[in-house]
């Protein structure tokens, strides 16, 4: 009882700070200086119609590289921690029989889901979308395949090869940007093209496709590792 009262008192204190922050906040009427630069110069400098994509891939590309590194760390730590420990108590998991709807539906739905994922990250510079969303959709397709066949083993070697190769090509594209234009992850190594076409905005579709493949492979390896855990009593 006393612990609950203390927790409520702490939350009331934090709530007072939040209310003070909210009362002193006045929404802007015009864009601030950074947003004004992005609004005026994105279309002419990078050729991409989606400003959020242009910021993520070219203007703040180094932060995206850091985030992809954090995801890679999380996925490899999960694979490492789950393979440690004693393996002698391998109890046979009692399998629930998978219904007919799932086994037939997966052969129709899984290719369409993968196609939607590829469409979302290839068109990242024209419509809302991009690498992270496309990678998550691809991982959902792999999850459907995992759920409909619980005994199937995915080859971890294929997933890790896809992930490593896309990461390596992504960093080497960045270094190519230094060699050809003088700044890391510049998208002007390929020609900019017409505004609004599919093949435009330089290297942004290429970089975002690599990010999408890498993120999708990382989520899939996380899910494959988690589905091979043993039952604990």
**Residues of span 100-159 touching another protein by CB under 8 A:** 120, 126-130, 132-133, 136-137, 139-140, 143
Q: Is 78 in the site for another protein (CB under 8 A)?
A: yes
Q: Is 92 in the site for another protein (CB under 8 A)?
A: no
Contacts of 135 (CB under 8 A, 6+ apart): 117, 121, 211, 212, 213, 214, 215, 216, 217, 218, 219
Maximum Cα interatomic distance, the chain, rounded to a whole number of Å: 67
Angstrom distances, CA of residue 32 to CA of 25, 51, 175:
15, 16, 32
Among 45, 65, 71, 171, binds another protein (CB under 8 A): 71
Q: Is 233 in the site for another protein (CB under 8 A)?
A: yes
Cβ(173)–Cβ(187) under 8 Å?
A: no
Which string of x and - marks every residue 8-47 that binds another protein (by CB under 8 A)? x-xx--xx--x---x--x-xxx-xx-xxx-xxx-xxx---
| Burial of residue 101, with CB atoms counted within 10 A of its CB: 0-12 exposed, 13-18 middle, 19 or more buried | exposed
Q: Is 161 in the site for another protein (CB under 8 A)?
A: no
Q: Is 91 in the site for another protein (CB under 8 A)?
A: no
Among 20, 62, 104, 195, binds another protein (CB under 8 A): 195
Task: Find the shortest distance in angstroms from Cβ 92 to another protein.
Answer: 13
| Cα–Cα distance, 81 to 85 (Å, whole number) | 8
Among 16, 20, 62, 74, binds another protein (CB under 8 A): 74
């Amino acid at each position: 009882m006393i612990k609950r009262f203390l927790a409520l008192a702490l939350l009331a204190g934090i709530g007072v700070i939040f209310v003070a922050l909210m009362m002193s906040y006045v929404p802007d009427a015009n864009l601030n200086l950074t947003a004004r630069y992005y609004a005026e110069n994105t279309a002419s400098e990078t050729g991409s119609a989606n400003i959020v994509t242009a910021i993520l891939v070219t203007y703040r590309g180094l932060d995206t590289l850091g985030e992809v590194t954090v995801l890679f760390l999380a996925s490899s730590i999960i694979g490492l921690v789950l393979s440690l420990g004693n393996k002698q108590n391998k109890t046979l998991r009692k399998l629930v029989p998978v219904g007919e709807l799932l086994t037939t539906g997966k052969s129709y739905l899984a290719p369409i889901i993968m196609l939607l994922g590829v469409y979302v990250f290839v068109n990242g510079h024209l419509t809302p979308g991009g690498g992270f969303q496309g990678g998550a959709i691809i991982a959902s397709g792999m999850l459907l395949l995992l759920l409909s066949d619980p005994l199937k083993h995915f080859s971890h070697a294929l997933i890790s090869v896809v992930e490593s190769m896309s990461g390596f090509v992504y960093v080497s594209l960045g270094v190519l940007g230094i060699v050809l234009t003088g700044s890391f992850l510049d998208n002007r190594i390929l020609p900019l093209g017409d505004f609004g076409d599919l093949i435009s905005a330089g290297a942004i579709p290429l970089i975002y496709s690599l990010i999408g493949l890498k993120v999708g492979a990382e989520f899939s390896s996380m899910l494959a590792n988690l589905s091979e855990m043993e039952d604990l009593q």
